[in-house]
Structure 1
């Protein structure tokens, strides 16, 4: 659920959603000349909301290295793949029956978060110095049964913008989709080099032989470029794959 209060945007996160994995997809909605194009995807990540005391954390989830949760090595694999925290938000309030926490996401969506804004390569190319908070804001936020759609306008000070160079400024509008996948993932499918899809690499430390010929595709994990993989034991045979389709 999304609420607005003045210039602030608030998320109401049900307790049952804490710990659930979601897909976060960012795209360019509107842009200046020579800075990508409308609809261009800039990032895909698997993310998870977690509670830590009186704060809510947003972590990115990686399935690059996995092991079946029933195997002793799985604990070591998890310890070696500690999930980055991309946001830490204080709990602002609770709903009426305390079944959900309310957090202010305004700063998260309107600040310089790499997953949500201009990519690192473009920042270097355009000599971006900083994101100007005073010219960055959430332009819209809407919630639906299984997804939340947020648009944010981001303005950067740049030494070499690709257009309107006299302004020393880059402004673009980003569209962010946070999507809850099905509780039961779709069946994975074998990778075949004759099929014209990209694949994601995955190392399964639970296998006797870590390099194998089998490869599988999973709709949630394979959508997350660079963070992809199949959750161990969640899709039939998925824990045996070390290369995935994208």
Structure 2
């Protein structure tokens, strides 16, 4: 009987310990950045490594109404805790299969994925800001092709921003009415946000690389060429696209064709 009681007691302690560990691991990460407080979520890589994910963080005011066809305006600080636990809508674009317009104009959000937060280590991690592709007319920061499930097996932080697409992002009248390239300006503002806030996620603002594929690669090259980004990043990875590609810019006559269409 004593042996059975001891075994039962040991089993009780074992299950209690497992419950406490499971509860601790399931607690959502919280942190404070320059704009306010965030609550994120826990995800796992394909290799089983747990990491913190902060999804749908606004970095600019909604580009709607008077802010449509304007350079992005930095987000104002918020009160309370922002639930950064799920992705927000992507920017308006034509659905490839249905030809319907999907997405929302209030779309200037970004995602931050980090394997460890500052309270877990004093060592700051390198940062990759990955700009999605899609010919400047479709795509999103939440595209599964740009997810963290493999990269976060390494000690780095991944940031994926949305930016305006199509006419809302790149229409230009070649004058002050609509100078254009708002999508590129969105990306630049996201880089400024990273420079200002990434330390709160355990990232090194002096070790930021900008990268992307296709339109994201060309965008990365454009950001490298822009004097507005001086000091914001140290390296660029342009995959299958640079600013010199014939599809990466539209001369005035092409804009006129698009407007007529």
Higher strand fraction (1 or 2): 1
Q: What TM bracket, shorter-length normalisation?
A: under 0.3
Q: Which has the higher contact order (CA 8 A, sep 6+)?
A: 1
| TM-score, with structure 2 as normaliser | 0.21
Higher helix fraction (1 or 2): 2
> Which protein has the larger Cα radius of gyration, Structure 1 or Structure 2?
2
